[in-house]
Amino acid sequence: MPLPDFTNPLRAKLKGAAAGNRPAYGLWVTLDSPTVSEMAAELGVDWITIDMEHGCLDYSDVVQHLRAVKGSDTAVLVRVPATRVDTIKRVLDLGADGVLLPLIRTAEELEEGMKYGRYPGRGVRGIGGERSMRWSMKLQEYLEVADRETMIIPLIETADASDNIESILKVDGLETIFIGPADLSSSRGYLGQWEGPGVAEDILRMVRLAGEAGISSGIMAMDNDDILARAEQGFRMVGLASDVGLISRQMRPMLRDLGGRTFDNRWF
């Protein structure tokens, strides 16, 4: 019986983006219904991120979202609630293609997160997780590909991370960073602003440094114009929206046009 294909679909698309193709587009998933992920995969998004840091999603929800995209070419990432060995190990054991680590501030913090997602020799991930082995692989077969194909992506969303970006970019095994403008702005003293004064320029500086190091950059976009702008800025991984953001974007103008509420200060 042939081995299951463990090639991470996102990695190839990021390399394509680096070669001049379009960015890898994705959806941020916060709702518990796996139908959200099923629809996204069927419609052809390149990746989804299941958000366990904010909202109500737990490990049982993660499994259902993973099942919903099984057999598709959509990569599944999980934003874990914290950079802890137990959390990272469990979501990878469930079969996620990678993890996003929140609030990484230093190269040392990222190195710890990398170790939590790698097996002994490169890290401290415990042996287990029959689901990630597709219920049929021999352990040695899985171990040979797991470290290579698992993506561990730091969220660069604090002033400390920005200040330490050059050392962060030197961490062994790093392929992609994901920038969080809102938290970055807040940490610079501009609470509640998506890109406070100087933050947009800071983001472009980090994208440039990452590109020079051969590392991809990702970000969430606010609308269609922002999606195109982020691609022009060199982002290879662009989030189209969150699931609740898409619903809200559609409902707000409908309610406004029907004489209902107006929405002057939208967040997403």
Q: Domains along the chain?
A: 9-155+215-257 (3.20.20.60)
Among 28-37, 157-166, 244-253, name the one with the lowest average pLDDT: 244-253
| Cβ proximity of 38 and 69 under 8 Å | yes
Give the range among 40-54, 87-101, 133-147 with minimum mean pLDDT: 133-147
- Determine the average pLDDT of the residues in 10-22: 81
CA distance 184 to 162: 8
What percent of the chain has pLDDT above 70? Answer: 95
Four-CA torsion 41, 29, 220, 77, nearest 10 degrees: -70
pLDDT of residue 1: 47
List residues with catalytic annotation: 54
Give the predicted TM-score (pTM) of the model: 0.92
Which pLDDT does position 210 carry in this prediction?
Answer: 98
Q: What angle do CA 221, 225, 231 make, to 5 degrees?
A: 65
Contact 80, 53 (CB under 8 A): yes
Confidence of residue 267 (pLDDT cuts 50, 70, 90): low
